Amino acid sequence: MSLSVPERLLKSSARHSYDPEVDIDWDAAVDPTLWGMQPERMSLYGTELWEGLTPEQRVTLSNHEVASIASVGLWFELILMQMMLRDAYDDDPTTAHMHYALTEVADECRHSTMFGKSIAHLDVPAYGPPASVHRLGRLFHTVVRGPSAYASILVAEEILDTWQREVMKDERVQPVTRMVARIHVLEEARHMTFARDEVRRQVAGLSGLALLKQQVLTAQTCFMVARSLVNPEVYRSVGIDPRVGRRAALGNPHYRATMQWMGEKPLAFLRENRLLPAHQEKTWRGSLLLG
């Protein structure tokens, strides 16, 4: 008899899991000549503001920008855990479905710790999302329910996964950042499989207003997550006014192409599963994930 998705993921978790407390050398020195992330994927790359920065300033900005992305990832993982535990509250504790959900929450606890330690390792601020989005985050786990919850989880995880698969192979990037990316990629593969399975299962049979609600919630949540990845305050680290940097980033064709590259896979999945209809494309284009 074939195993269910949760059963397969439980077996994979037992075979392949990391403990970032022992698997990452947090005492390693930060090399001032290495990047915090790949420069070509940074929000100002190719702009006039970028051309005006010294090589040292560009590296500094890379450390602040990767810290922003990590801190927003941490923020959303906390929301993710609340949503999953809310669902587990009413689940059957004897089933593989609940067992895997709890296993994923345990993974995310380690990931959140790992992201926090990686930011501290670079000795830069944990920017997180803008204050208004941070406040809205308190509502996510109560308002966003059903397939939109798992669709939002999938988009947040998969855009970071695409980016980190490139980070972990780039020898120009700090070793600790690359190891964080490698661990996250390995374990998030299971989480994305679970999210896809939940979306397919929960969206089946939805129609009319119920489906419309899920489409709107998915678009709005993913808009906030994607637009929050780079907190404008990072630009202060190199003497750029946050409002000026934000405008340059949002209009930067290089950055817009990067965001669309990150969003390509999850958005294709959402289209296939009726969660990215034509009437929501304006919001998705505003998120930068859709061209």
pLDDT digits (tens, 9 = 90+) for 146-197: 999 999 999 999 999 999 999 999 999 999 999 999 999 999 999 999 999 9
Q: What pLDDT was estimated at residue 148? A: 95
pLDDT band at 29 (very low <50, low <70, confident <90, very high): very high
Q: What is the mean pLDDT of the chain?
A: 95
pLDDT band at 126 (very low <50, low <70, confident <90, very high): very high
Range in 13-22, 95-104, 235-244, 264-273 the model is least confident about: 13-22
- Of all residues in the chain, the percent with pLDDT exceeding 90 is 90
| 84 pLDDT more than 70 | yes
How confident is the model over 114-119, as a mean pLDDT? 97
| Residue 175, Cβ density class (10 Å: 0-12 exposed, 13-18 middle, ≥19 buried) | middle
pLDDT band at 2 (very low <50, low <70, confident <90, very high): confident
Q: What pLDDT was estimated at residue 1? A: 67
Which ranges of the chain would DSSP assign to H, the alpha helix?
5-15, 20-23, 48-51, 55-88, 96-122, 131-143, 147-167, 175-203, 208-228, 242-250, 253-272, 281-286
Q: What pLDDT was estimated at residue 137? A: 87
Closest alpha carbon to 79 in 108, 113, 107: 108
Angle at CA of residue 9, ends 271 and 137, nearest 5°: 55
Range in 19-23, 130-134, 189-193, 236-240 the model is least confident about: 19-23
Helix (H, G, I), strand (E, B) or coil at 190: helix
Give the position of tokens 């192409």. 257
| 234 pLDDT more than 90 | yes
